[in-house]
Amino acid sequence: MKLEYLAKTGKIGNVVTRNRMMMPAMCSYTAIKGAVTDATVNHYARRAEGGVGVIVTEMVNPSPGCQCFAGNLDISNDEFVPGMSRLATAVHAQGAKVFMQLTHGGVFIRNAEKLPQTPSGIGTFSLAGAEVHAMTKDEIHQVVEDYGQAALRAKIAGFDGVELHAGHGYLLVEFLSGYYNHRTDEYGGSVKNRARLSVEIVEAIHKYCGKNFPIIYKIASEDYTPGGITLDQSIQICKIMEDAGVDAIVVSGGTLESRFHDYMDVMNGDQKIDGKMELTKGISTATWIPSTYCPRGIYTDNAAAIKKAVSIPVATVCGVRPEKGNEMIEKGEADFLALGRQILADPDCPNKIMEGRQDEIRQCLRCNECIASAGKGVALKCAINPCMGHDYMEHTTIHKAEETKRIAVIGSGPAGLVAAITAAKKGHQVILFEKADRLGGLMYYVGKPEFKIDYQKYLDYLLHMLEKSSVEVRMNTEFTVDTAKEEKFDKIIAATGSETLVPRLEGVENALNPLDILDGKIPEAKNFIVCGAGLVGCEVSMHLAELGKDVTMIDIVPDAHAAHMYAVDWSINAKLAQDGVRVELGEKILKIEKNAVVCQPRQEKMPHDPRILQTPVDLSGPYAEETVTFTGDAVICALGMKAVNTMAYELKDAGYPVEIIGDAYGARKIIDAVHEGFHAGRRA
């Protein structure tokens, strides 16, 4: 089905776009000392090549010394213009329009010589105890001037316009929000006063660039903080900004502090979830980068409400599926659809939409490995797009093979599927061996819960691309040393995956396999005990709870999470709470009985730790002498996964050319499986 409204041309000010699809601002972390690099140019050129109508760059700092992080692009002086002109030229060469997002870091300034700047000296939990600076009027006026000069540099560099970032915790939204802005002068108090800085910046841009240089305004339509921005206030702000001369609005939401207060109340047991805002809509950064544990499109209603109030174009963003975006444009509820992480996962997504090839779109998992990599201060990574951040580079380019080889791929999980498809693209003869009667490996189970539908869609994509490829698939066929001996392969890629770890615990034979539970093999029982609070344990617990079961999840660790970036972990914890899962942590599991689990509790339970940078946890105790027994109708053991690779090492020992990838090398994440599968196939 062709999504015809997304395919229509669009307009922002005097700029005409080839369709209604937008790439919103997302930091790539490819800059060096603020300057554009080859990787930066390639990143944006590749997205433009994929057919998107308009690209908004990542955050670009407009004020000297106000960068937020290593890799932050800069336009605060003329020396950055040549590099920026390379970026604009590359995007235009591929047919897209490009806007530069100007973002003053405000409280997030990371500069040893300059304190973080704020409206009123209100800091952030990510800088606990840090000294912050309340801006003087002269400093505000200088920021206004900096924005005007920065926009002029963007225009000189060839950009089609600029976007002002008034969301997600940075300086402009700090002025807009009553949570951060306690000023009593003309920049504080009323909504009009709090919007004054933004209005003055628009006026400065008009002064330096003229009124035919379009301006997009990205707003946090709600920021979910005490005394912060409400939808009614954001509607007022958008009307003010339209009157000031803004040409389009991007409707987002959230700041770093979003719902943090409610979250801590719930996690520390001070308040029940009842009556609280729906935490699984996101906490902190998850309010604008929602994970798979959060619903999609939480700002579509806000976008529709703002669209009713203004006459300029409005873009909807935040995990909105193309079908929903197309519908909103058709109904007049929005004018553009911003495809964020989806366009990182599959830069060709817009072209596929234009051509009616939605079944070939590589579905974003919303796993947030992208933002997790950014949190580590490294270049952006995508779990299912190994080329992201390395576009057009030799080590991610698939060349046709000079000599056709015979390649065996063992296992049809994500690592095996990606390896097989990639090797076939090179022109090799590829045979995929799967001992089961179905394809997908562990992905078959991962995508079963309703909240993991994104993973099921990604598996559907892989199976569709496998079907379109030249790969020969042999189901119900176990690969052995004899197979290798008889068929004489040039390369064998072992992607045999992992299986549930069975620990050395007394009575472990009484426990159920979590994969069976995900597969729907659930016994007639009401009360379940889940041993393990890692990713599998959390998701099995959520799945059972959503089926109406009473669930208790037990583990020795102090926090239930899957080692994601902090906001994803918080979303997992919030979902467990909202689903009614009883979480018992700091419990050393001693014995599993048929209907009970015997534990040794920690003498003092560790409080929930809200810090972004977690420290290693000491699990040595001390523990209480008396044990505690948790009873239920059934027990599930979800205490980890282990690699399945015995046969692969037998092949290596026998001298066959074997490469072991994915969970077969070590039980890890999907990002490891996909990247290793891609490169194994590419090198074949």
CA–CA separation, 296 vs 288, rounded Å? 10
Tell me the CB-side half-sphere exposure of residue 447, using CA atoms within 13 A: 21
- Determine whether 170 is an active site residue: yes
pLDDT at 617: 66
Name the pLDDT band for 607 (thresholds 50, 70, 90).
low
Encode pLDDT of 448-506 as tens digits: 999 999 999 999 999 999 999 999 999 999 999 999 999 999 999 999 999 999 999 99
CA–CA separation, 443 vs 463, rounded Å? 11
pLDDT at 372: 86
Written as one letter, the residue type at 524 is: E
Contact between 225 and 255 under an 8 Å Cβ cutoff? The reply is yes
pLDDT at 34: 96
Same domain, 306 and 231: yes
Written as one letter, the residue type at 143 is: V
Region 352-372 average pLDDT: 94
Burial-class residue 427 by CB neighbours within 10 Å (0-12, 13-18, 19+): middle
Encode pLDDT of 23-79 as tens digits: 999 999 999 999 999 999 999 999 999 999 999 999 999 999 999 988 999 999 999
pLDDT at 333: 98
531 bridge partner residues? 554, 637
pLDDT at 349: 97
Q: What is the DSSP letter of 496?
A: -
Phi, psi angle pair for 449, to nearest 5°: -65, 145
pLDDT at 116: 94
Q: Is pLDDT of 155 > 60?
A: yes
Asked if residue 264 is part of any domain, the answer here is yes
Asked if residue 490 is part of any domain, the answer here is yes
Name the pLDDT band for 608 (thresholds 50, 70, 90).
low
Same domain, 48 and 180: yes
pLDDT at 128: 74
Phi, psi angle pair for 337, to nearest 5°: -110, 120
pLDDT at 600: 95
Name the pLDDT band for 612 (thresholds 50, 70, 90).
very low
Same domain, 39 and 80: yes
Region 226-234 average pLDDT: 97
pLDDT at 613: 46
Asked if residue 78 is part of any domain, the answer here is yes
Q: Is pLDDT of 392 > 80?
A: yes
Size (the chain), residues:
684
Asked if residue 140 is part of any domain, the answer here is yes
Region 505-515 average pLDDT: 96
Tell me the C-alpha to C-alpha distance, in Å, between residue 654 and each of 264, 432, 658: 56, 21, 10
pLDDT at 221: 98
Q: Which of 130, 202, 133, 232 is nearest to 174 (CA)?
A: 133
Q: What angle do CA 274, 278, 283 make, to 5 degrees?
A: 125
Q: What is the rounded average pLDDT for all residues in the chain?
A: 94
Q: Which residue segment(s) compose the domain that 311 sits in?
A: 4-107+136-375
Q: Which residues of 5-44 are buried (b: 16+ CB within 10 A; e: fewer)?
A: bbbbebebbebebbbbbbbbbbbbbbbeebebbebbbbbb
Q: Is pLDDT of 564 > 80?
A: no
Encode pLDDT of 380-391 as tens digits: 899 999 999 999
CATH number of domain containing 403: 3.40.50.720
Q: What is the DSSP letter of 662?
A: G
Cβ count near 129 (within 10 Å): 5
Catalytic residue among 5, 44, 147, 170: 170
Encode pLDDT of 181-226 as tens digits: 999 999 999 999 999 999 999 999 999 999 999 999 999 999 999 9
Same domain, 635 and 647: no
pLDDT at 171: 98
CA–CA separation, 477 vs 416, rounded Å? 15
Same domain, 174 and 45: yes
Region 121-139 average pLDDT: 89
Q: Count how many domains the chain has.
A: 3
List all residues 6 or more positions away from 516 whose beta carbon is below 8 Å from its beta carbon. none
Asked if residue 435 is part of any domain, the answer here is yes
Note the pTM of the prediction, 2 decimals. Answer: 0.95
Strands 406-410 and 491-494, sheet pairing: parallel
Same domain, 371 and 433: no
Name the pLDDT band for 563 (thresholds 50, 70, 90).
low
Contact between 433 and 411 under an 8 Å Cβ cutoff? The reply is yes
Written as one letter, the residue type at 389 is: G
Residue located via tokens 């208790």: 552
Q: Is pLDDT of 260 > 90?
A: no
Tell me the CB-side half-sphere exposure of residue 52, using CA atoms within 13 A: 30
Same domain, 299 and 436: no
Helix axes 81-93, 38-49, angle to 10 degrees: 20
Q: What angle do CA 75, 95, 207 make, to 5 degrees?
A: 40
Same domain, 155 and 279: yes
Same domain, 39 and 169: yes
Q: Give the start-end residues of each E strand in 86-182.
A: 97-102, 117-118, 133-134, 161-166
CATH number of domain containing 521: 3.50.50.60
Region 553-565 average pLDDT: 80
Q: Is pLDDT of 93 > 90?
A: yes
Same domain, 330 and 371: yes
Same domain, 623 and 653: no
pLDDT at 270: 64
pLDDT at 272: 66
pLDDT at 516: 97
Encode pLDDT of 575-595 as tens digits: 999 899 999 999 999 999 999
pLDDT at 274: 65
Name the pLDDT band for 335 (thresholds 50, 70, 90).
very high
Same domain, 539 and 665: no
Of residues 600 and 130, the one with the higher pLDDT is 600
Phi, psi angle pair for 149, to nearest 5°: -65, -40
Name the pLDDT band for 127 (thresholds 50, 70, 90).
confident
